[in-house]
A and B are shown apart, each in its own frame.
Chain A
Amino acid sequence: MIVWKLARRQLLSSWRSGEVRVLLFALALAVAAMTSVGFFADRIQNALARQGGELLGGDLSVVSDQPLPESYLEKARALNLRIASTLEFPSMAMRGEQSQLADIKAVSATYPLLGQMRISDESRDAGRVVASVPQAGEVWVEPRLAGMLALKIGDTLTLGERELKVAAILQQDPARGGSMFNIAPRLMMNVADVASTNLIQYGSRVRYRLLLAGEPQALEFFRNAVTPTLQRGTRIEDVQDARPEIRSALDKARQFLGLASMASVILAMVAMSLAALRFARRHLDTCALMRCFGASQQTILRVFLLQALMLGLLGSACGSAIGYVGQEVLARLAGALFLERLPPPGWMPVAGGLLAGMATMLGVMLPHLLRLRDVPALRILRRDPGEQNAASWLAWLPGIVVMLTLIFLSARDAKLGGIVLGGLVALALVSALVAFALGRVLRRVSAAAGGVWRIGIASLLRRPGASIAQVAGFSLGLMAMALLTLVRGDLMHNWQSTLPPDAPNRFVINILPEQIPAIRDFFQNEHLAIPEIFPMIRGRLVEINGQPLDTTRYTDERARRLAEREFNLSIADLMQHDNKITAGRWWRDDERGQPLLSLEEGIAKTLNLHLGDRLTYDIAGERVTLTVQSLRKVEWDTMRANFFAVVPPGVLEKHPSSFITSFHLEAGREETLNRLTQHFPNLTVVDIEAVLSQVRAIMDRMALAIQFVFAFCLLAGFAVLYAALAATREERADEVAILRVFGASRPQVRAAILAEFAGIGLLAGIVAALGAEATAAIVSTQVLHIPYVFNPLVGLATICGGLLLIPLAAWLGLRRIVDTPPRQVLLSV
């Protein structure tokens, strides 16, 4: 009871006198960062996944080469999921004498679950959004198919045993899917008509798809329930499987948001530690006095533990509330840009924030509480006892455990967490070392220096521990801000260069070798940049190192699919400029004609292939054995034509090949395509502009989310800098008062403060700049897998920021004291 009363009174008093506000603010900030950034990141991630889901036509899709069991449908219905089903199969579409291979997609009335379809009456029309699917007896055809079969609205075409009426031109199917290079034009029909075509027979190549959309938990439940029962040839796809370029962008965004949320947590915890240090120092006298008046160590521990708990509860509650409101505001701001409303936040993060906040508070406070407990009563007579005594390293352990847990939870990525933590530990060591070494140098300098410099340097030297903590605090704050600036820059740069405005948006396939010169001429005459034209030879992998390929040895469904399908092999003398060798080397001039192979590293990993492996391909009935000489990293999200397998010139030229190219066609120049196909009727032009737009839209929104979260981290960074300044403000106020009493002029005092903090700031700036550049390089290249761009400007800005802003902020904080008559200052300190 006494403990409660004392704790409450002290806390209220501390609150009134303002000394716990920094601690409370830092805690609220830490919790707000955890709930707001962490949770906003989650919501954005969910929303982005939904956005990506449009490319799939649903959140989740079960795909099979045989009809799906009724039990899946029942399960989905039971979980209140929205359901659509589709069948896809290739078939000839005929009109009179003309026939064309088409990619038939039969859809149920509820298709698509996510995204929108657009249809039009004319091929060139952009089309209108429709909420329905083709009626029974009707079909929608893509412009390309309409062109090939000269179809108009109202015409009929024959599909198997059925005649169907063309009701619209299909301009956009959100879930276009499929491989980009083998696309036949699409024909969409109602699933009810499929049976009457009599096209689906035993052995037909049909892809059955069950599309699902709904609450994430229900989807997860469905996935978990169904996965163990999947037959061979059946798999579950989500957006990440649908499009690698989206997946790559999503991953990077998620990692950056993780990095940002982790940085906020670290910064806020550092701010708290600094504030707790100040709190403890200010209560040393209280504890000595309490000991003097007979309080036991237990009583002191309880009184301060209770204060920590109360502060923790208050700070966590405020932080959770701020976080909840903050992320809602962010979601609303960003929500206008999303097609769908962001999924609701729920109350779990608030509870999580409270829990994390209490754990953080106790973890951070424990060493200081133990230090307060151990303050000797003698301190009341002599100042020094209790000033230096520090808690054992064991006391820091819970705080470190809490920090590590929160860092890894908020990073959502062990590798990212590990790298940033490694950077932090290195930074802490380097700051301590630099501060220590500088201390030795300054000791010598201060003997020679005079006036204000001596006072400034003496301030630094008198509290080596506090100075190191302060330098480390400033360094951390600056480093986190610089690190995020650098990585954000790399990410934005990478996204812009991935899909520049002139990224290829049309692929041309089926080019015959003899047409190449004429096609080059065509591009020149049309004033289009002459694109690179790549040969493409189709081959099936049959042997690895002389052993027949046994696809059943791949337990991974994706690996089996990749191994079973035909490879597109290409020929290249020089490597494409956006590829990068990750193992082995590219061929030399004298190796032309040798049976060598360069493999994309991802497929090599999936199929467990290594440098030196001999791969035998069946190319049009002939066997060719090639030795893997290099592995390449390919940027698939650039949308350029790229190949898993490339051989040097002089190896596969005698095999039948076709050529492929990609180019950028500006909007409004579509008639060029008509001229191209008129000149070269055998060519197939694939339009990926719609896919590109979708990817660009997603990247734009992610960029926006990243800017929001980045701004939040900057705030947390400033909080740390503030806490580091506030940590020693009272002592500095004392010093200023004494200097003023002894006749120091205001300019002299100002110079002393500026000199000291310029020293600290410069040191912190240098350490932070180096730490940030090094960590950014590792994060960009190792985690985000994007090129690291050395940015000396950010480093320079960090050092200048340290050198100028920290002294300025220190001056602003102490200005009031300097301007006040010394007598008043002495009374108030």
Chain B
Amino acid sequence: MISDSNQNIEIEASNLSKHVTSSEGVLAILADFSCAIHAGETVAIVGASGSGKSTLLGLLAGLDVPSAGRVAFRGQNLADLDEDGRAALRGRHMGFVFQSFQLLSSLTALENVLLPLELAGISDADARARHALERVGLSARLRHYPRQLSGGEQQRVAIARAFAPQPAVLFADEPTGNLDAATGARIVDLLFQLNAEAGTTLVLVTHDATLAQRCGRRLQLEGGRLQA
């Protein structure tokens, strides 16, 4: 179903637009965005608040559907899939790290990491989850609930959860946005280290120039448009 293109393109966006209708008229959040992201590439989407970064990330990951244009993952047009089809695609090929960690408060660290593994039906889920937590230095905190962990620890759990299923693409939305500088730096190191080891394609949304500098390519958004 999913074909590997000659240019090894992982994600391709063509003429993407997203607008919402409000009481004040139609508001364009993203306009005419096109780009191609190759396998193994690290891409930073940068821009000020409200420039459409997170919207773009949502569209690229198939979390949202564009108002116009198309997004293809390995040549597969996401618009041709229904909600469940896109969910299955995410489950098989994508991982996520969010600004607000998005850990389930009712699950322990280990259970949070287990969630995507089990949803993907991976047989040695438990061992892989433990290994992932060990890689982020949290093997002693397996049974802790998110509220018992610091912000940095919570984000490390989120990173373990993102890498554990060995996704092809990792989407990170302001991964250091909720952390202090020192903790943020450690998290970024960890992220890039794991990324390099796994050869994962990384799509990272940030307004942090230093963090963006560590990526192979930067896409600058302004008012919903890609700046050259």
**Interface residues, chain A, CB within 8 Å of chain B?**
2, 5-6, 9-10, 13-14, 16-17, 19, 285-286, 289-299, 376-378, 380-382, 827-828
Contacts and interface: CB of A to CB of B under 8 A. Distances in A.
Interface string B56-90: 01100011100000000000000000011011111
Nearest to B88: A294
Q: How large is the interface on B (under 10, 10 to 19, 20 to 34, 35 or more residues)?
A: 35 or more
A380 B63 contact: yes
Interface stretch (B6-14, B117-125, B180-188, B218-226): B117-125
Q: Of residues B54, B63, B96, which shows the largest number of chain A Cβ atoms within 10 Å of its Cβ?
A: B63
A295 B91 contact: yes
Contact of A292 (B54, B96, B105, B121): B96
B106 A19 contact: yes
B108 interface: yes
A124 to B, nearest CB: 78
Contacts of A19: 106
A382 B58 CA distance: 10
A376 B115 CA distance: 18
B193 interface: no
A300 to B, nearest CB: 9
Contacts of A5: 118
A17 B118 CA distance: 22
B89 A294 contact: yes
A286 B64 contact: no
A577 B92 CA distance: 85
Nearest to A295: B119
* Interface of chain B, main secondary structure: helix
B49 interface: no
B214 interface: no
Nearest to B59: A378
B84 A296 contact: yes
Contact of A380 (B91, B98, B105, B147): B98
Interface in B3-48: none
B58 A294 contact: no
Contacts of A290: 115, 119
Nearest to B93: A294
8 contacts: A5-B118, A285-B102, A289-B104, A289-B115, A290-B115, A290-B119, A295-B91, A295-B119
A13 B107 contact: yes
B107 A10 contact: yes
A381 B119 contact: no
A296 B118 contact: no
Contacts of A10: 106-107
B175 interface: no
B96 A296 contact: no
Nearest to B91: A294
A31 B104 CA distance: 31
B102 A378 contact: no
A293 B63 CA distance: 10
A13 B108 contact: yes
B111 interface: yes
A291 B96 CA distance: 12
Given A286-B104, A298-B84, A381-B54, A292 B63 contact: yes
Given A293-B90, A294-B116, A382-B54, 11 more contacts: A6-B115, A17-B105, A292-B90, A294-B87, A294-B91, A294-B119, A295-B87, A296-B87, A299-B119, A376-B83, A377-B87
B118 A6 contact: yes
Contacts of A377: 62-63, 83, 86-87, 90
Contacts of B92: 294
B118 A381 contact: no
Nearest to A828: B147
B153 interface: no
Contact of B120 (A286, A292, A294): A294
Contacts of A828: 147
Q: Of residues A291, A292, A298, A827, which shows the largest number of chain B Cβ atoms within 10 Å of its Cβ?
A: A292
Contacts of B86: 377
B106 A13 contact: yes
A16 B106 contact: yes
Contact of B111 (A13, A285, A292, A293): A13
Nearest to A17: B106
A381 B88 contact: no
Contacts of A6: 115, 118-119
Nearest to A289: B102
Interface string B116-159: 10111100000000000000000000000101000000000000
Nearest to A379: B63
B83 A297 contact: yes
A13 B146 CA distance: 12
Given A294-B92, A377-B63, A2 B102 contact: no
A554 B64 CA distance: 76
Contacts of B107: 9-10, 13
Contacts of B64: 378, 381
Nearest to B118: A2
A2 B121 contact: yes
